Chains A and B, each alone.
Chain A
Amino acid sequence: MRVTHRDVVCSFCGTLCDDIEVDVEDGRIAEVRHACRIGTTKFLSASRHEHRLLKPMVRENGRLKEVSLEEAVERAAEILAGARRPLLYGWSSTSCEAQSVGIELAEVLGGVIDNTSTVCHGPTTIAVHEAGFISCTLGEVKNRADLVIYWGANPMHAHPRHLSRYSIYPRGYFRERGHQDRTLVVVDVRRTDTARLAQKFVRVQPGRDYELISALRAVVNGRKLPTDEVAGVSREDIEELAEMMKSCSFGVLFFGMGLTQSPGRHRNIDNAICLVRDLNTHTKFVIMPMRGHYNVVGFSEVLSWQAGFPFAVDFSKGYAWYNPGETTANDVLQRGECDAMLVVASDPVSNFPKPSVENMLRMPIVAIDVHPTPTTMVADVVIPAAIAGIEVEGTAYRMDVVPLRLRKVVEPPEGVLSDVEVLQRILERVKEIKG
């Protein structure tokens, strides 16, 4: 018998589409509608148990051996409670409820807790501390925006339904003709698939976005550029873009890793926020980061309201201490400070740079995940988890900080618990060990 679930929230990326339809037959996902290619794969893969972690494992004599959940939890608690400076990392692909338990665990352990924003929009957060933040929810873009800029972001690949759900194609209240009422501009170092859709594509030289932003600010503020080109972009193009930005009714600047990961990092974003602030003296303009994982925002929200800081929090003094560059995961790892790691719903062995991975391999790793990954392949304890948004309910925050409740459409595989439950057991055991 086929059951159709509607209004399902996709738990892949920060676009957090909540119009997904999932057909379930005999307890397995049979069909998915409205999701993009990646979201569809995520739902369908859930029911392919042969590709998932199904049993807890502990490494013995160099090989991972299946054990009971109790044993795995015990070993995990021993490793973490016995560590002097454990690092708890990941978090962005699980629910707020799980993140909340993780934060308490970090506090009890006196460890460092960090999430994937440390390698994604951490620099954006740092810029916000300095420059503030001028933004809105995505419906404001849908209903009002007539100028849409993607800078250093490639939604056609990273957020496939972004243009159709929010920014270009929807017929908004004040933009009834959809994309005909809007102009798309892309700024990037290469002509991406998103750039090919743009009315204007600006190719900036790699690593020189900061200069281009400064040039735009100068023109927006009524100055003349002293050179014919900046960062590989002609003066004419810069002046044209500045004019487009000043004369629109509602402009939005979406930005991604092109700004956060290239030289300048948070200073690029700081400058971009200042540009948007300058624009607000002429017209209505907002800025929004293209957040990657579906609940990377949720982690920062929960950590901020519980502990005051958005990521990279060190609890070794008993209270929250935050200092990016000092307490961020890659820095803690590369200084060789931590002696154990808990990785939840993340794969740093794949996603961290080489020097960090080399350090990771020197310490015991406890991994809680859904699929085997390079991180689980080298971990010392591996505990399978149910998938939030498919097998477990929970809360997630969209890239514009709109919170939605993830649904459960199928049961998890036999014996596989949610992240929340696994973490609660580890936390309980750690509290007992620590006394």
Chain B
Amino acid sequence: MRFTLITGRTVAQGDAMEKGKTEEEFMKACAIVELDPEDMEKLGVREGDTVRVKTSEGELVLWVRKAPGEQPGVAFIPLGPWANYLIGGDTEATGMPPYKVVDAEITPERGKVPSLEELLRLYTREEVR
């Protein structure tokens, strides 16, 4: 299903970040995608299921969360390494990458959400401490 992806802050992400980004809480706060409840029904997913989120830049499996309010067609991923794995670099000569309003394809998928180490390995292709 086609979505418009935006990324941004949440209090949980901020809180977890201050506790330490290598902690599990950070992953639970960031490796998620918030969807409109009606869209979740259309997709056939429930809170806690996993989906594959794909943009022209990359793709990841993430947990689904219900959005706090209505946002039909909009998917929200909290700011962090998972979100940014899907974001491209074109700043259109402004310095600012396109963190918001990105075309995304979201499909239900039973899969494993990569941990921080696994995510970094996708970049480095090596073991990261």
A–B direct touch in complex (beta carbons closer than 8 A): yes
Known: A12-B18, A45-B20, A377-B120. A354 touches B57 (CB 8 A): yes
Q: Is the CB of B99 within 8 A of A261?
A: yes
A33 is an interface residue with CB less than 8 A from chain B: no
Known: A261-B98, A324-B95, A378-B120. A353 touches B88 (CB 8 A): yes
Q: Which stretch in A74-82, A151-159, A391-399 binds the other chain? A: A151-159
Among the listed A156, A157, A195, A357, which residue makes an inter-chain contact with B123, where contact means beta carbons less than 8 Å apart?
A357
Q: Is the CB of B101 within 8 A of A41?
A: no
Kindly identify, within residues 1 to 40 of chain B, every residue whose CB is under 8 Å from any CB belonging to chain A: 4, 6, 8-11, 14-15, 18-23, 36
A251 is an interface residue with CB less than 8 A from chain B: no
A181 CA to B32 CA in the complex, in Å? 38
Q: Is the CB of A263 within 8 A of B95?
A: no
A265 is an interface residue with CB less than 8 A from chain B: yes
A143 CA to B79 CA in the complex, in Å? 34
Closest residue of chain A to B85 (Cβ to Cβ) is A354
How far does the Cβ of B127 sit from chain A's closest Cβ, in whole Å? 8
B41 is an interface residue with CB less than 8 A from chain A: no
Residues in chain B near residue A353, CB distance under 8 A: 57, 84, 87-89, 97-99
Kindly identify, within residues 26 to 73 of chain B, every residue whose CB is under 8 Å from any CB belonging to chain A: 36, 57-58, 67-71
A356 is an interface residue with CB less than 8 A from chain B: yes
Q: Is the CB of B101 within 8 A of A207?
A: yes
Number of interface residues of B (CB under 8 A): 52
Kindly identify, within residues 232 to 264 of chain A, every residue whose CB is under 8 Å from any CB belonging to chain B: 257-258, 260-263
Closest residue of chain A to B76 (Cβ to Cβ) is A190
Q: Is the CB of B129 within 8 A of A119?
A: no
Interface of B is mostly: loop
Q: Is the CB of A355 within 8 A of B15?
A: no
Residues in chain A near residue B18, CB distance under 8 A: 12, 38, 41-42, 45
A325 is an interface residue with CB less than 8 A from chain B: yes
The listed residue with most B CB atoms (<10 A of its CB), out of A13, A63, A189, A361, is A189
Among the listed A191, A206, A356, A357, which residue makes an inter-chain contact with B101, where contact means beta carbons less than 8 Å apart?
A206
Residues in chain A near residue B92, CB distance under 8 A: 265, 325
How far does the Cβ of B82 sit from chain A's closest Cβ, in whole Å? 9
Q: How does the 8 Å CB contact mask read for B77-96 relative to A, with 1 for contact and 0 for none? A: 00111001111110111111
Q: How does the 8 Å CB contact mask read for B89-129 relative to A, with 1 for contact and 0 for none? A: 10111111111110000000000000010001001101111
Q: How does the 8 Å CB contact mask read for A316-347 relative to B, with 1 for contact and 0 for none? A: 00000000111011110010000000000001
A377 CA to B127 CA in the complex, in Å? 10
Question: What size tier do the contact residues of chain A reach?
Answer: 35 or more
Known: A160-B11, A354-B86. A266 touches B99 (CB 8 A): no
Known: A262-B100, A377-B128. A361 touches B20 (CB 8 A): no
A325 CA to B128 CA in the complex, in Å? 32
Known: A330-B89, A353-B99. A378 touches B94 (CB 8 A): no
Known: A191-B70, A330-B91, A357-B84. A374 touches B21 (CB 8 A): yes
A373 is an interface residue with CB less than 8 A from chain B: yes
Q: Is the CB of A373 within 8 A of B21?
A: yes
How far does the Cβ of A55 sit from chain B's closest Cβ, in whole Å? 14
Residues in chain A near residue B126, CB distance under 8 A: 62
Q: Is the CB of A41 within 8 A of B15?
A: yes
Known: A261-B98, A353-B84. A372 touches B120 (CB 8 A): no
A261 CA to B57 CA in the complex, in Å? 17
Among the listed A160, A196, A258, A263, which residue makes an inter-chain contact with B69, where contact means beta carbons less than 8 Å apart?
A196
Q: How does the 8 Å CB contact mask read for A360-377 relative to B, with 1 for contact and 0 for none? A: 010000000001111001
Residues in chain A near residue B14, CB distance under 8 A: 12-13, 38, 157-158
A38 CA to B23 CA in the complex, in Å? 16
The listed residue with most B CB atoms (<10 A of its CB), out of A62, A158, A190, A192, is A190
Known: A330-B89, A350-B81. A260 touches B96 (CB 8 A): yes
The 5 closest A-B pairs by CB, nearest first: A191-B69, A328-B95, A190-B71, A325-B93, A355-B89
Chain A interface residues toward B at CB < 8 A: 12-13, 36-38, 41-42, 45, 51, 62-64, 118-119, 122-123, 126, 154, 156-158, 160, 189-193, 195-196, 203, 206-207, 257-258, 260-263, 265-266, 292, 312, 324-326, 328-331, 334, 347, 349-358, 361, 371-374, 377-378
Known: A154-B9, A351-B79, A373-B22. 10 other contacts (CB 8 A): A36-B11, A45-B19, A45-B20, A122-B94, A206-B74, A206-B101, A266-B96, A292-B9, A353-B98, A378-B123
Give 9 A-B contacts (CB < 8 Å), ordered by A residue: A45-B18, A64-B129, A190-B6, A265-B94, A331-B95, A353-B87, A353-B99, A354-B57, A356-B97
